[in-house]
Structure 1
């Protein structure tokens, strides 16, 4: 975090990334003193309602965060910024998105938790668009022109007013990650029975992790028979996340049921003094670690691996386990929506666990579900390609996996294999998950 005083004193000269959150009501003109170097500007958490018309003077600006400001319209000044590719205006009050506000090199557009009812057709002219995050708005449809965005890979449209997934969207050749829960789609889900665990039976200890949807703590569960069990307890927040509603996430976790490659759920919390919702899960061994880091601003839709090296046997075992988990989910009418390495825990043996159901959604209908499965297969194919890139085996050892990976990521959605076929293919190759 930087200060306005340091900026005005010239102490930040040459800065490439600037973060100012100091109750700003107007854009500080002193920021223009960094026009020769500034690439990332974060003005989140202020009181801004507009940006200067000459914002393009920041000629190297690539990334702009302006979340949690009372903007009512996406500033048109953005459209003149030639190098700007990431635009983030989450949790503002934006109701209007002008075509003049869309920069020419736009790759990531984050407008989560606003008041947007419609998007301009000109959005479909942004040929570099890869990530579109629109959860928590008032959209009833998406512009059909987006069908021209052939690089579009990740779409978040949860918690809107969309009554049918567009046919053109389901045919997008690069689309791999789609979140759409919380729309009036008449999904075919029925509530899944689950054990009810009284809050009074739980004792909480240290925090294991905290994300946008909730907090996970290690705890101890003493059931009605006095049996003690070490568990992980996740309490959900009520706030909207970039993926959708945490309560939709909880419903998908429960409906997923048991599978050896999913984190096991013991039950649902009842009787919390503040009526908080939550789940009790099995405590996972610390030998399991996260496979990769989430995408960076530069990698956009691709996870970041740090020095990961895998044997061919490990790759095969992980691929088989995750394919099996996905087959299980889709058989239950669940689209995971966020099939990424950063949502997978693994051991060196190749044992793996798929988690994080924040983007999960139930099939609107069976026919659409079969298409959704092929979209998720592309995400699996991208993951498999990343595992193969980390693999130390030679081409002969991985030839069958590479051929399978190519089939999974092909542009023709209908021609991709389903997860049952993928699992069978891996098993036929002598692989067990």
Structure 2
């Protein structure tokens, strides 16, 4: 964090700063920031109350790559950003924004985050942002998407949650690189309209008084699941995990939709088992923080040998496709282990889509893997959408996620040890990856077909049965 008075006194001039951040209340843009333009690449003025930018913003900050103006007061997207030649990521969450002028968007953008505003439309000129990979416009009032967005063929992540879309345009589900799509809390994804019940069958109703939180940090701070104890009787207590769903809509979606999808998902060996719903929580009738509370779940406590397969890159990196990095602590594995894990994960995804649920964020950071058990668990339902069986576009919705599974195969391939001894396993997985990543969405495999191919590689009782790699003719 930098100091406003030091800035005004010229204290940062000539220091070669690449990042600059203020959180002071600002009535106008500090012109002294422009004096940092020879080196400045990232600017964060979130929560400053700023509502306008100077006309020479782009000319004076030619190296700027990332701009954060979250929780400010830009009612209209600042057109001055369009003059920034190297701007890759713009974050304008929760500004009360009502409009984006034509040609206000920088054509160089990779990431555009406009979550929780009041937008009723997007400009036609967004189609000129052909490098765009990540678009988050959840929590707005959109009733349609401009056809020009179909020009953004590099788009990989699209968050449309909590808008007013009565349908998804057919062209959207043919974008060749789209692998993460969420559209919960739109008329086109209403669980009621699509016949998907929110009522969890076969789950226990667990009173809050029967739960005891353990003083342990969550394994993944971005998805706080708290270890605890479920006192089922005077004589029996079970180690469990507890998750509370509260807060407003975020970039991925709403905690209410995450809870609904998690309960509707049912049981599968590669999903974390939900044991029951929590009732009589103190926040059910409101809480002191003012944040909405939607409910809670009690799930199996995942053993410590299961660790995240990958970790997310930071928001500030705004790297191509925002892909995850494999964590350095993740151990290397054999091809047989990778295929076993992937078979279970593909089965879990087939199970979800058989229930009319799209996961929305199939990525290595949402996978807990155990090398010892050759098994993996799929988590991270924060971007899930209940679209419902019988949806007119369900086959394309599923095949969008098959591309994400192809990327997950890539991540598994990075973990393989002794590649020279794993030639057949590598070849089998690479061939499957190509089938998952066909540019024409309708030509990709379904998850049932992915499972079939993986099971064919494993053979009976886990014996490897991968086709022999053809030798030289």
TM-score tier, shorter chain, comes to over 0.9
Residue 72 of structure 1, CA deviation:
0.5
Counterparts of 1:363 and 1:166 in 2: how far apart (Å)? 15
Instruction: Name 2:90's counterpart in structure 1.
Output: 87
Q: Name the SS of the counterpart of 2:424 in structure 1.
A: helix
Counterparts of 1:374 and 1:204 in 2: how far apart (Å)? 40
Q: Normalising by structure 1, report the TM-score.
A: 0.95
Residue 226 of structure 1, CA deviation:
4.6
Q: CA deviation digits over 1:151-197, x for unaligned, max 9?
A: 11110000000010111101111110000000012333112323211
Q: CA deviation digits over 1:321-363, x for unaligned, max 9?
A: 2111111111111110100101111122332111011111112
Q: CA deviation digits over 1:343-398, x for unaligned, max 9?
A: 11112233211101111111253441111111100000011122213323244331
Instruction: Name 1:333's counterpart in structure 2.
Output: 356
Aligned ranges for residues 45-56 of structure 1 at < 5 Å?
Answer: 45-56=47-58
2:405 aligned with 1:380 = yes
Q: Name the SS of the counterpart of 1:67 in structure 2.
A: coil
Deviates more, 1:174-183 or 1:384-393: 384-393
Instruction: Name 1:134's counterpart in structure 2.
Output: 137
Instruction: Name 2:242's counterpart in structure 1.
Output: 233
Instruction: Name 1:344's counterpart in structure 2.
Output: 367
- Cα contact 2:96–2:118 (8 A) shared by 1: yes
Residue 215 of structure 1, CA deviation:
4.0
Instruction: Name 1:197's counterpart in structure 2.
Output: 206
Instruction: Name 2:469's counterpart in structure 1.
Output: none
Unaligned runs of 5+ in 2: 285-292, 463-473
Query: After TM superposition, what 4+ stretches of structure 1 lie above 6 angstroms from structure 2?
Result: none
Instruction: Name 1:117's counterpart in structure 2.
Output: 120
Counterparts of 1:187 and 1:63 in 2: how far apart (Å)? 40
Residue 135 of structure 1, CA deviation:
0.4
2:105 aligned with 1:102 = yes
Larger radius of gyration: 2
Counterparts of 1:211 and 1:142 in 2: how far apart (Å)? 34
Residue 22 of structure 1, CA deviation:
1.2
Instruction: Name 1:318's counterpart in structure 2.
Output: 341
Aligned residues: 432
Alpha carbons of structure 1 residues 361 and 2: separation in structure 2 relative to 1, 3 Å: same
Counterparts of 1:19 and 1:290 in 2: how far apart (Å)? 31
2:3 aligned with 1:3 = yes
1:266 to 263, 270, 275: 275
Q: Normalising by structure 2, report the TM-score.
A: 0.88
Residue 25 of structure 1, CA deviation:
2.3
2:195 to 185, 188, 193: 188
- Cα contact 1:268–1:280 (8 A) shared by 2: yes
- Cα contact 2:339–2:458 (8 A) shared by 1: no
Q: Name the SS of the counterpart of 1:100 in structure 2.
A: coil
2:41 aligned with 1:39 = yes
- Cα contact 1:322–1:353 (8 A) shared by 2: yes
Instruction: Name 1:414's counterpart in structure 2.
Output: 442
- Cα contact 2:22–2:45 (8 A) shared by 1: yes
Q: CA deviation digits over 1:106-132, x for unaligned, max 9?
A: 111000000000000110111101111
- Cα contact 1:170–1:371 (8 A) shared by 2: yes
Q: Name the SS of the counterpart of 1:101 in structure 2.
A: coil
- Cα contact 1:140–1:163 (8 A) shared by 2: yes
Counterparts of 2:409 and 2:184 in 1: how far apart (Å)? 26
Aligned ranges for residues 245-256 of structure 1 at < 5 Å?
Answer: 245-256=254-265
Q: Name the SS of the counterpart of 1:71 in structure 2.
A: coil
